[in-house]
Structure 1
Amino acid sequence: MRTAILALAVLGLAAGCGDRAETPAPAAPAAGVDPAVEHVVEDWPLPATQPGSALPDLARAADGRLLLAWTNSQPGRRHILQFSSYHPGDLRWQTAPVTIAIGQSMVVNWADTPHITATADGTLWAHWLQKNGAAPHAYDVALSNSRDGGMRWSTPFSPHDDGTASEHGFVSLWPQAQDSVGVAWLDGRKTGAAMAATDAAAAEASAGGDAGHAHGAEAGGAMTLRAAVYGPTLRRTLDTEIDASVCDCCQTSVAVTGRGALLVYRGRTAGEVRDIMTTRLIGDAWTTPVRVHADNWTMPACPVNGPAVAAEGDAAVVAWYTAPDGEAQVRAAYSDDAGTTFAAPVDLDRGEAVQGRVDVALGDGQAWLLWLREDGDGQSLWLSRRSPDLATEYQRLQVAKVAGRGRGTGFPQLQVANGVAHVVWTDVVDGVAQLRGARVLAR
């Protein structure tokens, strides 16, 4: 991933129209939920046992199953994208690891990772990245589906047909309808020569850094955010450019609300303000993007640290990393109207040790928020269990001490099912990546 040493500054701007100034009144926990009950962390053995397993994605299907996808990379061998499914009610993995894709041209990137989802008709959908041209950051999104539980996968295709040797990635997938999937991605078709020039000049940061890269619209076209929908015939519909200028290499995230898919991402203004934006798909059109909150974080390069969103009905929670005053922070904000407006954010953590790399889930009448820290003692993974509106923290737990440091540990994943939080992350031991899992449940 292209990286550069970043300078931080503060730029005073007016609040975005997505902000809501008031702090919400505390919400009552769901029936049967006792906030005072202490939760504990226990090991969750995963089927991804091979050395070199990393880059996890954890999704929840409509039938309650958890879908785990990951990449296995070993020296001298082709990359492999695999998945397995877990049924929380049975407390066991339902399938042995199944291969989705394999190939020398598969792009494996610590931050731009594959994803998996399922539509209500039982179809599985997965994406990964595929090289396109000689430039280091010229690659396409490859999308495939399976109608038989993952045993056979369709010939991969790309949701974009611009034909440019540029960067396409940082994908979000969601079930758009009974048999249709939505896909959103960052699209570099307009970056042109700017991308190639940056690839030639990019300097890698130290292994422990999470610095971003500094190619941009001033040297060529901007990175854009696009989305499309695919049904069982794989015909593309609702192909849309949502935002004409976005942060170049931050993850996108999506959740399905009672009023449509809610997509969050890191925006980018001409003045290099890189705050978190949100838009919702209503019918066949995306709403005008607005800021979740006016952090006014002026950042001259991509922080490689995108937001996460979760939703239940009209309730939605967005969590993100920011550093508007030069101090790293993890924030979260609550919406009771499917992301149309957001309450003032809650600061979950701050300080030099905060790495961000957040994830969030709503379930069991609670909000669950996950993030990573790194200090002199190494990395650690933290979970805050809160009221759904975030006003009250019920408990804060250290989920794990992580042996790896820097970028190699990637982005941890979180899902809640049957009142239990399931967490998956990459660790690096003696230079070899491996997946780890934990369950957080009431004692």
Structure 2
Amino acid sequence: MSDHEHLDPRLDARLDDAFASFTRDLAHAPSPGAAAAISTARRHRRTRVGGVALAALLAVGGGLAVPGLVGAGDGVAAGGGSARFDRDALAAATDGWIGEWEDWERYSPWGGGSFGAESCATPASATSAPEPTSTGVSRFVSHSGSSAVVVVEGFADATTADEAQDRALPAPDTCGTTTTYDVDGVEVRHDSMPSDGDAADDMWLGDVWSARIGDARAELQVVNDTGVADDATAERVAEALVAGLRDGWTQESDDVVPQPEGKGDLPAWPGADVERALAGWHAAARMTATGTPHTPCLGESLQSGAVSTEAGGTPQGVTHRFAGYADDTSGPEKVETMLAELRACRDAQMRVETLPNGVHVATYDTGGAAGRAALWFAAEGDRAALVAVEGADRPMPPGVEQDVADELRAALGLPWE
């Protein structure tokens, strides 16, 4: 199954993988939900955490007649207040529940594994939610392995944003307990979905907050193994989310490029074929998975300007990204920029070569026992793709370089679906 099937095609391009594994498949969403940012592997009740996902991204919750309207007290959003929703804001809001957060980093020693999620958390109507004009995502991980993803979407107008809000989540109280907080005149929806016990001692997507202000909306999804937030914590998080939505800051942000007519979905990513081509060459130790490789000196990203993209990764340090463009020049131009950046790199013993089939391969060593890595990338017409392996503790096996390049070239030759 391709990652594209797991992620909202509109989101995945925008969010970029926001966490290739952290979410309900990278989940959930139709609107760039947290889940979407994090993961790329959708399961019915189980989502792979490590491989851009909480990919999470998030979508925002519905303006349906929600029960339990609770008035928030004076907080960071009082009096029209705004403040960045960063790791410090998240830590303050979740103090006593989770509390200690870090910005998501590829080599973070925390996070990873898998997490459970209620399959009812994403309504069918979410797939027909309006298209945003911009999206932003921020991802965080705690020392205990909890993950959080917040996504902010901009729309053409407030009416469109309100419609997107309504379609993003199920009707109140149909998937856990729904509470609505009045934060300085803004309604924030909190869905609390305790684990049903099937995932004992495992991570669980138990809390989702969402809000809309004017033509923008935001959603926060939190995965942890310590249970759902209590009322006081849920209210503090609601206040922080409103302040953050007003501020508008996110770690990553992009304008959304509408998918032109005549472009369908990207072809299915040949994940199993690539795994076979790698012949067991992967990271020596488990790591969190994203859809963006952590390659020294590389600043260009395939997803920038793409009309459709999918990404995925595994806790074995293997990632991929597939991007489709409105024209036949954007992909090759990005690949040329990548080549220039990597060839000019003086870090990590970077070596770049172009194979006979036109696939470029960068091999490098970041040092230490598990410092070996490689990146394959190429473009063909209106598409570009890459495969990366990081954290290996041994040299690449003979034949793997060409075998992976052949699979990448074959994938680029597949027609749009």
Please report the TM-score for the alignment, with normalisation by the length of structure 1.
0.29
The structure richer in strand per residue is 1
The structure with more helix, counted as a fraction of residues:
2
